[in-house]
Every structure is written in structure tokens, then in C-alpha cells.
Amino acid sequence: MLKSMDYVYAVYVNKSFSKAAEALYISQPALSAAIKKVEIEVGTPLFDRRTNPISLTEAGKYYIESVERVMQIEEDMKLKFKALSELNKSTINVGAASFFCTYVLPDLIKDFQDKHPQYTVNVLEANADDLMKYLKSGVVDLIIDVETRGEHYHYESVIWAEDDILLVVPKAYKVNATLIDSQLTYDTVRSGDYHNDDYLKVDLYTFKDERFLLLKEGNDMYNRSMRMFKNAEYTPKVSMYLDQMLTSFRIACKGIGATFVRAGLTNYLEPTDDVYFYKLNDDNSKQNIKLYYKKEVSPSEIRQDFIDYLLQHTPKTV
């Protein structure tokens, strides 16, 4: 029965019989026959073979949900036995984006270890897509992520902090002259004064003729910026795609393009007069920073201690 579940789940994940067969190292006819046997046993089709890619029927959705519950039980068993066999484990692996690894976590981890010298905290830097994969596979025990993931019974999440996404525009850009009432300086953002309603929000459409510096796919900031451009009803002119927000900000300060940054970034860098910041009239410019971790029958003591510590020591946002 478990092998049949693996076969059905492989087709669901790969959305293709041929790709699933390749992943399982069996022939496609053998896989098709195995799936057909399961469908006969349950009395109804699990896949709609008319769609491209192949999709689940209502019965198929229920079957996959059931399989994932079984998978979670198996995972909980492994974790329980692992916890029992490693009662003295004192290491936690934390995944986060480059910004948090560089500017936020070092001081927090040092303070945490000063308070808990028996613990070791390892940090893994990755983008948003890879972070969730690492959490799912057990490479990390906890991730710090700004992506809105939706509820999933495999994971718990808690809001750690909130931040605003601002548009950074080189000071030399002519468009700034039309936005005097909305212009924000570095110090205005850093102090938190930008929250004042006297500083008007701007529509992203205002910058449709400008060139942009965007983060690459796989970053939350890329996903958010694409949603904002869609709401503004235009496709941006992109000068560069970059890996890190800090890099895009530095290049924007050189006058090469406008970019999106978190307001909290200003707490960690030296002030600059080379750019203006703008609040955006778009709901996607509000960002929750979350802690994600697996639901477990017996969570480790260090993980709980570290989560409790982080919730008592939120990062500097403005």
C-alpha cells in the first residue's frame, strides 16, 4: 500500500506520468498500470488525464491529503525517535536570506549564546524558495522568511516583525522634481518619521519610464515587485537582475536604476544623499517577517528556546 502511495504522490508532484516514472526508476507502462490498480481499488479516478499538465480529481485531492498525513506521521516518528536518541543535542540550524544573515542575526546569536553557552547556532544563507525546501527536507530547523506561504499543516509560523517596502530612486532622476511632497531622505526613513501622513504615497505607475534594478526570481522581493508592477499595469524596464537587496541598493545609489528595499535596511547602513525613498500606494509594500518551523510531536529544547528568544528580540525596523 505504501508503495502505491509513493507512485500516486510521484505523479502528483511531477504532474506527469513520464517524469514520475523517470523519478521512480520504473517504466511508464508499469507506473500507469499501478496507478490504474489504485483507482480501481478506490473506485474512482484520481487524476484528470484530459488536462495538461495532469491534475487531480476531487478524489485525488483527498487521496493526496491522506498520503501527506501518512508522510507527516512517518516524519513525526522519525523526529520522535531522533529526539529520544539525541537527548543532549544542542545545535540548531537556522536558514535566512543574506540580509538577515549579515546584519540581523550575528548580534542576536551572540547574545543568545552568551545566555545559553551550551547551545550552538548554525546559519545557512539562501533565497526564499530554497529556504522552504531546506526546512521541508530537515536541512534547517527554523527559517526566517518574508514570503507569504499560506497555511500548511506541516509548518508553524509566527510573525517576528513588520516592515515597509520602499522605492529607492536615484536623486538625479527628473521624476523626483514632480514628487516633492512624497520625497523621503535616508534620515527620514531611518528615524521612522516617514510614517507621517504628510509624506504622501506614490503610485508605481509614476515611474513607468524609469529603469529598475530587481532581485532575481526566487526572492520574495521579486515576487512582490512583480505583483506591484501588475497592479500598476506596466512591464518594467530592467537594467539588472541581482541576488541581494543590499547590492541593488548600492547600485541604485550609483544612479543606475530604481529599486525596492525594506525600510529597516536603513538601520544597518551608513546614510547616503544619493537617493530618495518613496512610500508606495500598494498593499504589497507591507511585509511580515516570519519564523517558520515544522510541527513536531517533541520539538527540541534548543529550538523552542531560540524561538522564544527571537520573539523577545525583534529586529530593528522603522
Q: How far is CA 212 from CA 55, 127, 178, 184, 231, in A?
A: 37, 20, 19, 19, 16
**Together in a domain, 193 and 57:** no
- Written as tens digits, the pLDDT of the chain (318 aa) is 678 889 999 999 999 999 999 988 999 999 999 999 999 999 999 999 998 899 999 999 999 999 999 999 988 888 888 776 665 468 899 999 888 998 899 999 999 999 999 899 999 999 877 888 899 888 999 999 886 555 454 788 899 999 999 999 999 999 999 999 999 999 999 999 999 988 999 999 999 999 999 999 878 899 999 999 999 999 999 999 999 899 999 999 999 999 999 999 999 899 999 999 999 999 999 988 999 998 876 678 889 999 999 999 988 775
State the pLDDT at residue 183. 96
Q: Which residues pair with 212 in a beta bridge?
A: 238, 258
**Of 84, 109, 125, at which residue does a domain stop?**
84
State the pLDDT at residue 147. 64
State the pLDDT at residue 138. 87
Spell out the residues 6+ positions from residue 47 whose beta carbon is closer than 8 angstroms to its own.
Answer: 11, 35, 54, 55, 56, 57, 60
Q: What is the DSSP letter of 192?
A: T
**Together in a domain, 59 and 7:** yes
Question: If we measure between CA atoms, which residue out of 182, 185, 178, 184 comes closest to residue 208?
Answer: 178
**Together in a domain, 249 and 204:** yes
**Together in a domain, 73 and 91:** no
pTM assigned to the model: 0.67
**Together in a domain, 146 and 228:** no
CATH number of the structural domain spanning residue 80: 1.10.10.10
Domain assignment present for residue 224? The answer is: yes
**Of 62, 84, 106, at which residue does a domain stop?**
84
**Together in a domain, 182 and 265:** yes
CATH number of the structural domain spanning residue 246: 3.40.190.10
**Together in a domain, 78 and 226:** no
**Together in a domain, 41 and 10:** yes
**Together in a domain, 79 and 91:** no
**Together in a domain, 295 and 274:** no
| Environment class of 288 (CB within 10 Å of its CB; exposed 0-12, middle 13-18, buried 19+) | middle
Q: What is the DSSP letter of 179?
A: -
Domain assignment present for residue 245? The answer is: yes
Domain assignment present for residue 317? The answer is: no
How many domains is the chain partitioned into structurally?
Answer: 3
**Together in a domain, 204 and 118:** no
Question: If we measure between CA atoms, which residue out of 316, 233, 231, 296 comes closest to residue 73?
Answer: 296
**Of 84, 119, 136, at which residue does a domain stop?**
84
Q: What is the DSSP letter of 267?
A: G
Question: If we measure between CA atoms, which residue out of 263, 98, 103, 240 comes closest to residue 167?
Answer: 263
State the pLDDT at residue 150. 52
**Together in a domain, 247 and 186:** yes
Domain extent for 46: 2-84
Q: How far is CA 267 from CA 102, 169, 225, in A?
A: 13, 18, 22
State the pLDDT at residue 255. 96
C-alpha cell at 208: 513607468
Q: What is the DSSP letter of 114?
A: H
